[in-house]
Structure formats: C-alpha cells, structure tokens
Amino acid sequence: MNGWMGKILRVDLTTGEFEKIPTMDYAEKYLGGRGLASRLYWEQVKTETAAFDPGNRLIFMTGPLTAAGAQGGSRMSVSGKSPMAYPEGYCYGSLGGFFPAEVKMAGWDGIVLDGRADRPLFLVVEDESVSLKDAAHLWGKTACSTEDMIKKEHGHKARFVTTGPAGENLVRTATLYASHKGTVTAGFGAVMASKNLKAIVVRGTARPAAAYPERVKELAAYTRELKNTVSLAILPKIGMTGHGHLVEALGQRHCYQCALTCSKYVYRIGRNRDMTGLRGCQSMEYYLPWIYGQNEEIKTFFDAPELANDYSIGTFELGPMIEWLWDCYQKGVYTDDELGLPLSNTGSRGFLERLLRAISFREGFGDLLAEGMVRIRNRIKPEAAALFPRSVAPIGSTDGVPPRVYITHALIYPFEPRMHPIGVHEIDYLGIPWNVYQQDPSSPGLTPEHYLEIARKWWGSEEAADQTHYRGKATAARNIQNRTYLRDSLGLCDFVYPITYSFSRFGPVGDPDLEGKIFTAITGQPASDLDGYAERIFNMQRLIRVREGHQIPEDDYPPDFNFTEKFELSIHGTAMTMPGPEARPVDATGRVLDRNRFAEMLWEYYNLRGWNRCTGLPKPETLRKLGMDDLMDAVATMSESTGAIREDKGRQR
C-alpha cells in the first residue's frame, strides 16, 4: 500500500477499548484527511448529538501525502461537531508541525476519539502499542506546561496534542495545541477535554511507502525551486499601524519534511535577542498594544500569542473581542467595575492576562465571553451588541477577503462552516504579487498578462480574473473549492499549495498539475482520479451541513450587508483595488453585490455541481456518477424536507 498506512485507530474512552478501522474502506472514495473524516462523521455523529456529548467524535486524519516525501506534506484534518458553530454543527480544522507526521509514522492514518472517560486520561501511541494513562498530574496545567511534562516523561522527540485550562473548562473557543506550536480552532480543545482526555502522545518508527520513490525526490526538489514567492513575514496590520520596524524575520522553522516558504517565521522583536521566537500568521496581530495607546508594551506584543496558546484560546476570536471591549469602554457602555476587567488599561499585559484568565476559568464576565461573541449578543446591553465588529462570526472572522471585492468569494464563504475559510487564500495570496507590480512595475511582481494566464489555468477562464462582472466566477469557485478540499484531504499545506506563480526559472506562472504529479508518484494512482475525489468530498460536506440545518437557498447567500452596504475599507482599514478588465487595477470603494446577478451565478454553480436547482442537493445521476449511490435515500429524504420548507416559506410570503 502506497501513501496510506492501512488502518485508523478508534478509541472508545468510555470503555477503554481500541479498534482498528481499515483505512481503504473509506479512502477508496474519500481519499483521506478532511474527506475521509467527513464520511466517518456522517456515519457516526447523529444530528441531535451535542458538541460536548460523549457521542460526538473528534477525528484526527492524515492524508496519503502526509509524511510521504512531499514538500508541504505535513498536515492533518481535525473534525467533529463544533461547540463554536451556531447552532452547534460539523466543522473542521487543519494541523501542521510534527504531530500529523508522527501519527503516520506510528503506523496509523488517523485517530478517532469516541465516548467519555470517567477520569482525566491521556492517550499514548507508540507504533502498535496503544494505552490510556492517568492524567491527574496533567489536568489543570497550561498547554505549555503540559508540553514540558510530556517531553520529560516520554522524551524530547515525542509529539503531542493537548489543550489548556480553557479546554478543561469547556470554553467554546478553546483550541488544541500541538508540537511545533501548531493549533486547531473550532473549539476542539473543549471537545477533547469534554471527553476527559488531556493529551495524545505519539512516537513512531515506520515510514509511508511511495510507488515511485525517485520521482518523489525529483518532485520535492522541483517544488523547492518552484516555491519562490512573495514573503509573508511582515503581516499587514503590524505594518499598517506603523510598527513594521519592530519585527525582524530571522528565518523559518519548518514543519516536518518541508523546506518551503510559508507564514511561520522565527522573529526578533525590537532587536532584542530575549524576544526571539517562532510565531505564525494571524496570532501575531490579535493584540497590538500601541493601537490602545500602550506604546511601551513591546514585550506584551511578543508574548501575546504564547499567552493565548498557553490558556488555549483562539486568537481569531480574541482579536475582535478585545477591540469590542475597548470600544464599549471608550463609548461609556461598560466600566472596569461593571465587568471586573481593567478595560481602562487595554493594551497592557495586565489587561490581557486578566482577560485570558477570566475566560479560561469562567470567572465573572469571562463566563459569558467563554460562550463566544455570537452567543452573547442577546445577553448583553443592546448598546454593547450594537458595537459588535462586522468581522464577528461563530468560528473565525468574516469578510477578511470581501465578496464585494472578489465576487468569487461570494460563493466560497457561504459553503463553509467556518470563517475565514482557507479557500479564499488562493485569490488573496495571488493579489500580493499583482499589487506589488501595480505599485512598482520594476520590482518582482505579477503582470496583468500573467495574472490572466493564471486565471485561465486555475480558475477556468480569463473572465474569472475580472472582478467587475459575474462571468466565470461560478466555475472559478468550483475549481478553488475542489482544490482546497483535495489539499485538506491529501495532507498538503495551504500556505504552499497551489503554487500559482513563481519567481524561479520555471515561472512566472506556476504549475497547475503539481499536486497531481505528487499524488501519482506517492500512491501510484492516476492524477485524473482527483477530480472524482474532490466532487465526492465536497458533496459529502454539503449533505452533512444540510442534514444539520443549513437552509437552501438562504444560507447559500453571503450576509445581507454585502448586497446593501457599500464597501469602504478592508479589515486593516485600507482602501482596496481589485483586478478589473484585462486584470488592470480598479478601485473597490463603493462596491456592493447585485442580488439578481448573484442568484444567476448561484444557479449556474448548482448546475456545475450537478445539483437540483430547487433543493440545492445532488441529483440522483450525480450520486450515481460519483459512486455515492448508498446516499440516495438520505438525499431523497432531505430533498423532501427542503422542498417542504421552501413551499412553507412561499406561503408565508
């Protein structure tokens, strides 16, 4: 067997029993990672099951390319019913670093957690040896302290995933924290702790086999050279607030078996060697003391991501929450005494530590904040709710790459249970070198001509590049979604793939067939199989979400403000330009979505997916084509329900 290890570990925490699930029973149709996990979820998690019920599953699933020699092949999907979703429902996250590879090297394609232990435990997987051990000494410890204790007990090379006090106290935004500072959001830290499982520790000695090992090596070398792209070292909000000079990128600390450029860097802050460490992506920007007038709190800025990790609270939610609390204080809605929080000292270390503790241990107003901002809207002062940032979403942050600017995203955001979905990165990341060229044509960047060529090869047409009209956007959305789902199911990194452009000798246009070439080299299967995998996986998630209450077509529309409020500034407070005719820059200010044109685009999209226009569900012939015949009865039942709801709403109107 090439790529896969052949078995999945199921752990029943209620009984303490272990089971081997044959991987290929599921991988034959659903590949691995997010795809395989979604099928397991469909079969094992009932609609009425709550996120913290023992019957919920927490599914850690690698893909066939994880740890198999592919550059950027270091990831796994984590899935289950999310306590952050509103209402609770299916969600997924992605974890990189070293833990996913170690699971694979221990001989497993994934781990499925079921049930609830009667006392705190942790799971130890050492190749074929699997055991549950008492975790009384770990329970109550922060994530970083748990890491230290695990390494002391199981060796420095042991890989782990755990959660901190926020998870133990069932804070809905609690994260998982793993080796190499990897994190997973969607409240899965609380789900794991709700099962009385503090950590998973893995050690492995096996290696996945590849069908064509020499070809895998050739493609790894080719990928390393091709991935010569714009650096993501300096994040926008830091630069735009005039503090980019504080941040010095010293180099990257890579995930397992990867040497590619991404957003994880070792930084030195303020030229102080004592403030040097690994940081990544959005978490660096959630707490910028200087925007609250605390200009001397540079150490707090450096430590803020680690403090959030230690307690295990998601920074996508913390950022808007802190901005909202500050706004409430400034406008006289809340005082320090009312909330028991030092709002007047926002931006300081003292404020951040008090807030994190209050949320993690559900103290005072922190008990309310632990439920997540979306859930407390009707439990706070109306004037406070009116100040909620536009970006607030049940999971993550919405409108980061606005549908009013990039029309294709109007079809990407609504089809995901979390915001900001990684599917929007493909267009967003490509906009960076395109903008560089607009500002300075003499610098390395992407010309309009090359942007159009990329649109044709990746999105289906040059029309897809022009954001002033709706033509080509349905096909572009379908292509981007399929690539995203495949990436999450193969075990590849979103910060690497797809490589749409390159400043190497192979560029400036990247390689649209690269993932397929790697897939064939590792598994021996033809790359043409990937299209069928993508369609099955996308339809599987669609059916899960509709079964759990996703309304058609209402929930397939982006939020209403996209149609009624003119676009002004990005989430970073800046004006935006977008590619227009011939990929030339057009000012996005004043843009709104046209409701009628969006509806036409949505129907075109349904048709591309092989869905019934009235129900928004796969047609019988689509299911047969994809080999999903076993779901015919379930889809028929959902179709009847969806039709009845639409008919009832029609009578009400």
Domain limits, the chain: 7-203, 236-385
What digits encode the pLDDT tens for the residues 423-464? 889 999 999 999 999 999 998 899 999 999 999 999 999 999
Question: CA 437 from chain center: how many Å?
Answer: 29
pLDDT of 218: 98
Instruction: Tell me the pLDDT tens digit for each residue of 55-114.
Output: 999 999 999 999 999 999 999 999 999 999 999 999 999 999 999 999 999 999 999 999
Element (H, E) at 44: helix 33-44
pLDDT (tens digit, 9 = 90+) per residue, 213-246? 999 999 999 999 999 998 877 677 888 888 988 9
- Find out whether 159 and 62 touch, Cβ atoms under 8 Å: no
Tell me how far apart the alpha carbons of residues 326 and 62 are, in angstroms, rounded to a whole number.
41
Tens digits of per-residue pLDDT, 171-190? 999 999 999 999 999 999 99
Considering only the C-alpha atoms of the chain, give the largest distance between any 2 of them, rounded to a whole number of Å: 68
Burial of 129 from C-beta contacts in 10 A (0-12 / 13-18 / 19+): exposed
SS3 89: strand
* The Cα angle at residue 32 between residues 30 and 33, in degrees rounded to 5: 120
CA pair distance 171, 641, nearest whole angstrom? 34
Same topology for domains 7-203 and 236-385, yes or no?
no
Mean of the per-residue pLDDT values of the chain: 95
190-211 pLDDT, tens per residue?
Answer: 999 999 999 999 999 999 999 9
Cβ contact 69:217 at 8 Å: yes
Domain 7-203 has CATH 3.60.9.10: yes
Check residue 471 and give left, alpha or beta (phi > 0: left; psi -120 to 50: alpha). Answer: beta
The angle formed by the CA atoms of residues 538, 483 and 445, to the nearest 5 degrees, is 150
Of 3.90.800.10, 1.10.569.10, 1.10.3720.10, 3.90.1410.10, the CATH number of 236-385 is 1.10.569.10
d(CA 566, CA 464): 22
pLDDT at residue 253 above 90? no
Instruction: Give the count of beta carbons closer than 10 Å to the beta carbon of residue 548.
Output: 17
Helix (H, G, I), strand (E, B) or coil at 586: strand
- Which of helix, strand or coil describes residue 391? coil
Among candidates 584, 591, 551, which has minimal Cα distance to 570? 591
Report the share of the chain in percent with pLDDT over 70.
98
**What pLDDT was estimated at residue 643?**
62
Over residues 353-370, the mean pLDDT reads 98
In the numeric block, the tokens 């500034």 are attached to 569
Identify whether the C-beta of residue 438 lies closer than 8 Å to the C-beta of residue 585: yes
User: Which residues, including other chains, have CB under 8 Å from residue 495's CB and lie 6 or more apart?
Assistant: 72, 232, 262, 263, 264
Q: Helix, strand, coil: what percent of the chain each, to 5?
A: 45, 15, 40
As to burial, measured by CB atoms within 10 angstroms (0-12 exposed, 13-18 middle, 19+ buried), residue 386 is exposed
Tokens of 172: 């809905």
Q: What's residue 652's pLDDT?
A: 46
Closest CA to 457 of 428, 484, 483: 483
pTM, two decimal places: 0.97
Residue 648 has pLDDT above 60, yes or no: no
